[in-house]
A and B are shown apart, each in its own frame.
Chain A
Amino acid sequence: MTTRQFTIPFRRAMHVSAVLQIALLILIWQGGEAIVRLFNLPVPGAVVGMLFLLALLATGQLKVASLRSGAKWLLAEMLLFFIPAVLAILDHREFLGLLGLKVLAVILVGATTVMVVTALAVDVSYRLMIRFGERHARLH
């Protein structure tokens, strides 16, 4: 048997499994949506689904390997899924003038501040934790 004969069915099986993995992720998402509707929760169904999947992984009911390629594909192409939502601007021509510029300024300056503050807060506390951890380790 040549390598080619051997790898082609194998690759095909991998491909099918990535599709199956995405199907499973869709199923879990729909389960989350159903729970949110049933209990009228103020949380997105996808987040409930994500927490449920985390619980499955943490308790060993599901192995990461059986979802990895499907998850990887979805996450790699995630930017695509945001694009149609941006076109909602077409329905709000009132933002095409000065008001739009003002809102843009609020968002631009706000986002810059939020990102700088958050990143520095996390980085500084991370460094403090490492320094404290080292001192702690030396004392023992």
Chain B
Amino acid sequence: MPAFIETVLASIFWPAATIGLYLAARQLYRRWPKPWLSPLLVAPLLLIALALILKQSYAQYIHVTHWLVAMLGPATVAFAVPIYEQRATIRKYWPALAFGVVVGSATAMVTAWGLASLLSIDGALRLSLLPRSFSTPFAMTVSKDIGGVPDLTAIFVVVTGVIGAALGDVLMNVLPLQSAMARGALFGMGAHGAGVARASQIGREEGSIASLVMVLVGLVNVLFAPVLSILLR
């Protein structure tokens, strides 16, 4: 087969496989809404299996699917709409949100450092784990600032999002939460973008609060990173 036809086929095959498996996983989740059947767990696992069978590398895969990831850009911009629609709630209860962001960020850093030390993970790997709760662009900035490896941080961020979004479903039902605001903050702080996507499926207010919390967490920590890098030295 001529090489260019192979290239064309690959550039159709992987996006089609990604979208197809996502839609299938979403149907599956609608039928059986269990946390471990989340599309963000099932679809990537099937794709990884497929890539291993077809002996494809990540570089070959992402080369033809990066435009899907790029859609996170306009999706992030789109969050201005639900945030704007929730402006009355946000204006009224911003101290509760601000408190959650500060307490949550501190907990994220302390638990990552403490647990990593406990399991004898140290050096750059431990530092790369610290910003795992922030959305990717923020996390990579902070990771570089404090002496971690931004590429590793990006992976930890994605894994945190995948696990956090599934975990959030369980925790939301276990915890005695009275407000949609607390449910939104739970997803936005613990699972950033993936959590926001999940929260938006739960409810309008949950989704907009989650997106706001995610953005606030990123902003606060990028500003705080220089201080943190001095503390860690």
Contact B76 A46 (CB under 8 A): yes
Residues of B within 8 A of A72 (CB): 81
Query: Is the Cβ of A84 less than 8 Å from the Cβ of B162?
Result: no
Report the bound CA distance from A29 to B164 in whole Å: 26
Please report the number of residue pairs spanning A and B whose Cβ atoms sit closer than 8 angstroms. Answer: 296
Q: Which one of B183, B189, B200 has the greatest number of beta carbons of chain A within 10 Å? A: B189
A49-B73, A58-B84, A88-B155 given as contacts; is B39 within 8 A of A79 (CB)?
yes
| CB atoms of B75 and A81 under 8 A apart | yes
Q: Is A113 an interface residue (CB 8 A)?
A: yes
Tell whether A122 pairs with B100 under 8 Å between CB atoms, given A64-B84, A90-B61, A106-B121.
Answer: yes
Chain B residues touching A, majority SS: helix
- Indicate if the CB atoms of A114 and B207 lie closer than 8 Å: no
Whether, in the assembled complex, B40 has its beta carbon less than 8 Å from a beta carbon of chain A, the answer is yes
Total residues of chain B contacting the partner, CB 8 A = 104
Interface residues of B in 79-96 (CB under 8 A from A): 79-85, 87, 93, 95-96
Which residue in chain B gives the minimum CB-CB distance to A101?
A: B119
A14 contacts which chain B residues (CB < 8 A)? none
A25 near B158 with CB under 8 A, answer no
| Minimum CB distance partner of A54 in chain B | B80
Q: A44-B218, A104-B159 are in contact. Are A126 and B179 (CB under 8 A)?
A: yes
Is there an interface contact between B179 and A50, defined as CB atoms closer than 8 Å? no
Chain A residues contacting B37 (CB-CB under 8 Å) are none
18 examples of A-B residue contacts, CB within 8 angstroms: A33-B73, A49-B77, A50-B79, A53-B81, A64-B84, A75-B200, A79-B194, A81-B69, A83-B68, A86-B44, A87-B48, A88-B154, A105-B119, A116-B171, A117-B107, A118-B185, A126-B179, A129-B95
**7 nearest CB pairs, A to B:** A44-B137, A115-B190, A118-B104, A123-B182, A46-B76, A53-B80, A86-B44
